[in-house]
Structure 1
Amino acid sequence: MIIATAGHVDHGKTTLIRALTGVDTDRLAEEKRRGLTIELGFAWLPSETGEPLGFIDVPGHERFIGTMLAGVSGVDMALLVVAADDGVMPQTREHLAILQLLGVRELALVISRCDLVAEDQCESIAEQVQALAAEAGWFNADVWRVSSTSGQGIDALRQSLLARAERRQVRPSDSPARFMIDRRFSVAGAGCVVTGTLVSGRLQVGQNLWLHGQEVRVRSLQRASSEVAEVKAGQRCALNLGGAVSAEQPQRGDWLSEQVLPLSDRLDVSLTQLPDSRWHRGVLQLHLGTAIHSVRVVLLDEAAGLAQLMLEQPAAAVWRDRFIIRDPAANTTLGGGRVLDPQGLRRGRSHPQRLAWLSAWAAASTPGEVMAAALQQGAVALPELALKLNLSADQLEQLLPAEGLIVLAAAGHRVALTVEASEARWQRLAERLADWHQQHPELLGPGEGQLGLVGCLQLPLPVARQLLQRWQAEGRLQRAAWALHLPDHRPQLQAGDAELLARVAAELAPGGLRPPIVGELATALGIELDVLKAFLQRMQRAGELVAVAPNRYYLPSQVEGLVAVARQLVADSPSGSFNAAEYRDASGIGRNLTIQVLEYLDRAGVTRFVREQRFLVAG
């Protein structure tokens, strides 16, 4: 259990921790000289259960609010310390607001230096602090009246904290690890050491983690000054790192993560504004984790509390990460909130559909609810969603509904959409095809580019093609070579075209996989070459013929034969691929025509050429 102090400067936070643990957290000479905390201090309190309590001592001075924020990020509980002889002060209120914005659930109120004032004054201060806590949402916060010098109330407070630690619900550790660094130093003979809190997952000695896109290795782990083999989510520890470490990295504010989280300079967030504060267009400070970023705030829907944070330098974040916004010029806290989408949009960020999507994510409290909300909004890119939620592949699979879901995977994309979303896309495609057939009755149908497939289905092209194949298998859609058409559509040939097409087909069919070239066809039919070429091009647009090469046309059934040869070669190959020579021998069509045919199959999306080998495209 990790506990942070909070409160105004010189209200006895450091002295309280020393009284509870016996550890003086002021370790810097300047801190000793000035009698105030400047840097974060840490102390441990052993417990009988073997799980020690970690204390983080934060500065109370307004100049060191940034350091204070680094200390309270990711804690389980806070002690709000108010001196009985001083009362509630500016940083008391600001620290309390920060704890509220960061979502710290457990709070204890500690009235310090009670031995210096009369009992009635101590009670008056306690009532005032309780009222402030209740306004911020802590209605039943315990109040402790203590004196760190005389020992009054210290033992009772210590026992209460130990009891809370025993009752504390352990955080799940099945998500990928994310470690928040709040301090970095070097140890002779060991090298780089960082301290911080493991926000999610678990860490083990020898584990590899990512830091700014480079790998580092956990050489050893320490918790409560003792070597351990493993650390779990919610625990504080020190890591001795090897690998890609340097004098510049890691530093406070960096994250160590089990998976590579994408960086973004736009975060779409749920934003809460503190009373009497005002957002402005200037540069503000974003406190995210233990890092500080320069940021501008763009309000997307002020009534709903939706905004976009535009960072000067990109950062990594995940859904529900807490943050604070401060005005560095006025040295005041303006508000804070939660990250909704760590990959904010550049265009369409204020579109009603986008705002509805963000509102649904803001209302969600679990990854399962996020998944359900995302599926209701449309297609979901599953790998990207897993990173936004910091989920493992297994965790993501468990969130997928068992029924009413279609999952498409192709070319590195994996997309899920509901049956209802698929049907809506089919209706859009069918309407667009019907319009196209009406405008071009003489043609069989458009190709993917003419149809605007990606814009119509709003899916990556490889995945959109998979959806087309599903509709083809269901009989809703038909395809001849490159042309897509509705099943009941037939091109309306010009007068005389049907008769000439039959004559052409009679000449092409006997050629099998090697039909005659255009010149030979013109001679056989007794037609002028230019007239025949115009006719063949017209028949290609109608979907009746396929120009596999500039001077060679095939019937659609002959093209199916070319594809069948490729499929058989792949089926018979241990590597699942074939080369041009193998296709030439299997088809018997000769070297030059083989090259033309294979290039056509590549263009048609049947095969993919990689290092002199050809593979079938998925589906």
Structure 2
Amino acid sequence: MIVGTAGHIDHGKTSLVTALTGVAGDRLKEEKRRGITIDLGFAFLPLPDGSTLGFIDVPGHERFVHTMVAGASGIDIALLAVAADDGVMPQTREHLAILDLLQIGRGVIAITKADLATPERLSEVSAQIREATAGTVLDGAEILPVSSVSGQGVDRLREWLVAEAKALGERATDGRFRLAVDRSFTLAGIGVVVTGTVLSGVVRVKDQVLVSPSGLSARVRSLHAQNREVEAGRAGDRCALNLAGEGISKEAIRRGDMVIDPFLHAPTERIDARLRLLPGEPKPVGQWFPARLHHGATEVGARVVLLDGEQLLPGHAADVQLVLDKPIAAASLDRFVLRDVSAQRTIGGGQFFDLRAPTRQRRTAARETQRAALALSDPREAFAALLDAPPFAWDLAAFARDRALSASKRNEVADALSPILFHADEQSIAIGHSHWHSFVEGLVERLDAFHAANPDLQGMGREKLRVSLQPKLPPAAFSLALQHADVTGRVVRDGAFVRLTSHSLHMSPEREALWQRVAPLLGGDVRFRPPRVRDVAGLLARPEQDIRQLMKFAARLGLVDEVAHDHFFLRPTMHDMVLIAADLAAHAADGSFTAAQFRDRIDSGRKVAIQILEFFDRQRVTLNRGTLRRVQLQYIDLYGPVP
């Protein structure tokens, strides 16, 4: 459990922490020389039950408010200090506003230097505090007069904090691990150490973790939680992690980074959020308003895009899109603070909703429905609402990642809602049952209409069909949907085409007889370099036009594919060549292969190999990247089942 101080400069925050714990929070020479806190200070109070109460002491000077925000982001209990001689001051109000924006709902207010004040003065300061905290998270909070010099009220404050910590209990640890880094340094004989507050989950010695947004991989060699060496740190702990790994150094890990479960790594630079503008702001916020975003311990430039109206008035809240100068590591429902670009004042703050916000169509009714669903705090309720929001198909894996949900919590959501799920690549595309039935009926109706308009065509192009349906599934999920039991009895996949089982084309007896003579010429040892139409016509002593018409019709039947003009390959041969390309990619370190490698495997000329690969590019089986190609696994079943 973490207690964080707040309050104006020189209001006795550090002295109070020292009186409560016996540990001096100020650690820098410059801090000791100037008598003020510049960076975050930390102290720990062992409790009789064996647990430890951690303290984060933040700066009160206005120039270091950004550091205060970094410290406040991970605290459970706020300890607001107000000096009896000064009363409520500007940084008192700004720190209070930050606590309110971060929704630090538990707290106590200490009137420090109480030994220097009369009872009348203490009453006057208490009244100031009640006025300042009215309507905030600390409205009605306990107010305790204390003196770090005489010890007045310190024991009572300590007892209050201990009782509150016990009442709050430990944070839930069913999320995935996230630690907000506020310090990175090197210790002789130990190596790189990072410190911060564990925001969610559990970390253990020997765990593999990842530094985000940089993506550096690391291993936890050892860790301290609440200033003691332990085997595991959990949500709510102040932790120091000794990290090791390639590229890991104190310069490579900076304040504002996150050390996370590798599953969570997906930095974002465009976020839809709810922003509340403080009532004291001198003017409204307009479109593309520049600001500084504070989240966890990070600070980054941001532009505010209003999603409703053209300005946000002081004291009001609205949905906005935050466009960041650089990516950050975050989770949905994290809270944030906005300050002006000159770092002079806090202007507002709020909560993240969607970490994958779109660049276009931001103001549509569909987006409004999606944001409303994502704003729900309960993951089951939020995902259920998403399944009823356009496009009615959502990636459960991405939802769980962005909310830092554990695997068990994600499974609970899936079990409670029991959607139709398609696991493709790293996605788990979910569709509610009612929308799935609409999808299947829409699929059949679309194909039926296509066949009626095009009776002489083999079927509808798979990609054209996919983009015409709602829900619009990703390609890999669409491929799996066509194999679902609700679909397979009514629909047939035929290479790059899809048709109804009731739709078929048939050769005339004359064409069938000719095909039986042509097919063997395209197979066997020459299947990867079959003769062209002109050559087949010569071998059979038939007019080219007859052979060409036959091959075109055979292509509509799905027997062959025209890779290049008048160059047809049997469908099983196409399937074999796709599997060869996939095998080349699978055995390459970077998943890429060259045309020369493919040519050698099929033992053909370079020109034919290039024509085949360009055909695969058009069918999206491969992606051409200069001289290299990659295979798109979601399309390798175009010409036959994948073993």
Q: TM-score range by the shorter chain?
A: 0.7 to 0.9
Asked if the contact 2:178/2:258 (under 8 Å) is kept, the reply is: yes
Deviations along 1:487-526, one digit per CA (max 9) or x if unpaired, are 44466x9xxx846445546767999977998689879999
Deviations along 1:421-446, one digit per CA (max 9) or x if unpaired, are 22333344344334433432332322
Counterpart code for 2:400: A
Q: Percent identical across equivalent pairs? A: 38
Q: What is the rounded CA distance, in whole Å, between the counterparts of 2:249 and 2:381 in structure 1?
A: 41
**Residues 316-465 of structure 1: matches in 2 within 5 Å?**
316-329=329-342, 331-362=344-375, 364-377=376-389, 378-401=392-415, 404-451=418-465, 453=467, 458-465=472-479
Q: What is the rounded CA distance, in whole Å, between the counterparts of 1:88 and 1:248 in structure 2?
A: 40
| 2:591 matched residue in structure 1 | none
Give the secondary-structure state (helix, strand or coil) at the position aligned to 1:441.
coil
Give the secondary-structure state (helix, strand or coil) at the position aligned to 1:250.
coil
Deviations along 1:7-28, one digit per CA (max 9) or x if unpaired, are 1111111121122122222233
Q: What is the rounded CA distance, in whole Å, between the counterparts of 2:428 and 2:355 in structure 1?
A: 19
Give the secondary-structure state (helix, strand or coil) at the position aligned to 1:71.
helix
Q: Which sits farther off after the overlay, 418-427 or 109-118?
A: 418-427
Q: Which sits farther off after the overlay, 219-228 or 1-10?
A: 219-228
| 1:477 matched residue in structure 2 | 491
Q: 1:274 and 2:278 equivalent?
A: yes
**Unaligned 5+ runs, structure 2:** 580-586, 588-601, 624-628
What is the CA-CA distance between 1:206 and the residue it aligns to?
Answer: 2.7
Give the secondary-structure state (helix, strand or coil) at the position aligned to 2:482.
helix
TM-score (norm. length: structure 1): 0.83
Give the secondary-structure state (helix, strand or coil) at the position aligned to 1:23.
coil
Q: What is the rounded CA distance, in whole Å, between the counterparts of 1:502 and 1:191 in structure 2?
A: 76
What is the CA-CA distance between 1:106 and the residue it aligns to?
Answer: 0.3
Change (3 A) 1:458 1:39: same
**Which of 290, 296, 304 is the matching residue for 1:289?**
296
Asked if the contact 2:393/2:471 (under 8 Å) is kept, the reply is: no
| 1:204 matched residue in structure 2 | 204
Change (3 A) 1:282 1:380: closer
Deviations along 1:91-130, one digit per CA (max 9) or x if unpaired, are 1111111001112120111112222222122113213312
| 1:586 matched residue in structure 2 | none
| 1:571 matched residue in structure 2 | none
Counterpart code for 2:251: E
| 1:262 matched residue in structure 2 | 266
Q: What is the rounded CA distance, in whole Å, between the counterparts of 2:562 and 2:343 in structure 1?
A: 71
Counterpart code for 1:273: L
Give the secondary-structure state (helix, strand or coil) at the position aligned to 2:473.
coil
Q: Which sits farther off after the overlay, 525-534 or 248-257?
A: 525-534
**Residues 59-208 of structure 1: matches in 2 within 5 Å?**
59-208=59-208
| 2:251 matched residue in structure 1 | 248
Q: What is the rounded CA distance, in whole Å, between the counterparts of 2:486 and 2:160 in structure 1?
A: 67
Give the secondary-structure state (helix, strand or coil) at the position aligned to 1:401.
helix
| 2:584 matched residue in structure 1 | none
Give the secondary-structure state (helix, strand or coil) at the position aligned to 2:10.
coil
**Which of 320, 325, 329 is the matching residue for 1:312?**
325
Counterpart code for 1:299: L
Asked if the contact 2:380/2:413 (under 8 Å) is kept, the reply is: yes
Q: 1:529 and 2:562 equivalent?
A: no
Q: What is the rounded CA distance, in whole Å, between the counterparts of 1:454 and 1:412 in structure 2?
A: 24
| 1:225 matched residue in structure 2 | 227
Q: Give the aligned CA root-mean-square deviation in angstroms.
A: 3.8
Change (3 A) 1:474 1:484: closer
| 2:308 matched residue in structure 1 | 301
Q: What is the rounded CA distance, in whole Å, between the counterparts of 2:289 and 2:494 in structure 1?
A: 58
Q: What is the rounded CA distance, in whole Å, between the counterparts of 1:466 and 1:21 in structure 2?
A: 60
Asked if the contact 2:271/2:321 (under 8 Å) is kept, the reply is: yes
Change (3 A) 1:50 1:335: same
Counterpart code for 2:252: Q
What is the CA-CA distance between 1:225 and the residue it aligns to?
Answer: 3.4
What is the CA-CA distance between 1:405 and the residue it aligns to?
Answer: 1.7
Deviations along 1:521-557, one digit per CA (max 9) or x if unpaired, are 879999633134225424633x375447856687xxx
What is the CA-CA distance between 1:318 and the residue it aligns to?
Answer: 0.9
Count of matched residue pairs: 583
Q: What is the rounded CA distance, in whole Å, between the counterparts of 2:16 and 2:197 in structure 1?
A: 22
Asked if the contact 1:267/1:339 (under 8 Å) is kept, the reply is: yes
| 2:19 matched residue in structure 1 | 19
Q: What is the rounded CA distance, in whole Å, between the counterparts of 2:641 and 2:620 in structure 1?
A: 7
| 2:240 matched residue in structure 1 | 238
Q: What is the rounded CA distance, in whole Å, between the counterparts of 1:288 and 1:381 in structure 2?
A: 25
Give the secondary-structure state (helix, strand or coil) at the position aligned to 1:399.
helix
Counterpart code for 2:277: Q
**Unaligned 5+ runs, structure 1:** 568-574, 576-589
What is the CA-CA distance between 1:2 and the residue it aligns to?
Answer: 0.6
Q: What is the rounded CA distance, in whole Å, between the counterparts of 1:458 and 1:562 in structure 2?
A: 28
**Residues 2-17 of structure 1: matches in 2 within 5 Å?**
2-17=2-17
What is the CA-CA distance between 1:298 and the residue it aligns to?
Answer: 0.8
What is the CA-CA distance between 1:152 and the residue it aligns to?
Answer: 1.6
Give the secondary-structure state (helix, strand or coil) at the position aligned to 2:477.
helix
Give the secondary-structure state (helix, strand or coil) at the position aligned to 1:400.
helix
Change (3 A) 1:525 1:111: same
Change (3 A) 1:160 1:529: same
What is the CA-CA distance between 1:481 and the residue it aligns to?
Answer: 4.7
Q: What is the rounded CA distance, in whole Å, between the counterparts of 2:10 and 2:34 in structure 1?
A: 11
Q: 1:36 and 2:36 equivalent?
A: yes
Q: What is the rounded CA distance, in whole Å, between the counterparts of 2:486 and 2:431 in structure 1?
A: 18
Change (3 A) 1:220 1:560: closer
Change (3 A) 1:376 1:187: same
Change (3 A) 1:452 1:85: same
Counterpart code for 1:268: D
Give the secondary-structure state (helix, strand or coil) at the position aligned to 2:483.
helix
- From the CA coordinates, give the structure whose radius of gyration is larger: 1
Q: What is the rounded CA distance, in whole Å, between the counterparts of 1:187 and 1:523 in structure 2?
A: 81
Asked if the contact 1:513/1:562 (under 8 Å) is kept, the reply is: no
Q: Which sits farther off after the overlay, 422-431 or 235-244?
A: 422-431
Change (3 A) 1:86 1:188: same
What is the CA-CA distance between 1:454 and the residue it aligns to?
Answer: 7.6
What is the CA-CA distance between 1:138 and the residue it aligns to?
Answer: 3.5
Change (3 A) 1:139 1:483: same
Give the secondary-structure state (helix, strand or coil) at the position aligned to 1:93.
helix
Q: Which sits farther off after the overlay, 456-465 or 35-44?
A: 456-465
Asked if the contact 2:15/2:148 (under 8 Å) is kept, the reply is: yes
Asked if the contact 2:460/2:499 (under 8 Å) is kept, the reply is: yes
Give the secondary-structure state (helix, strand or coil) at the position aligned to 1:239.
strand
Q: What is the rounded CA distance, in whole Å, between the counterparts of 1:42 and 1:201 in structure 2?
A: 22
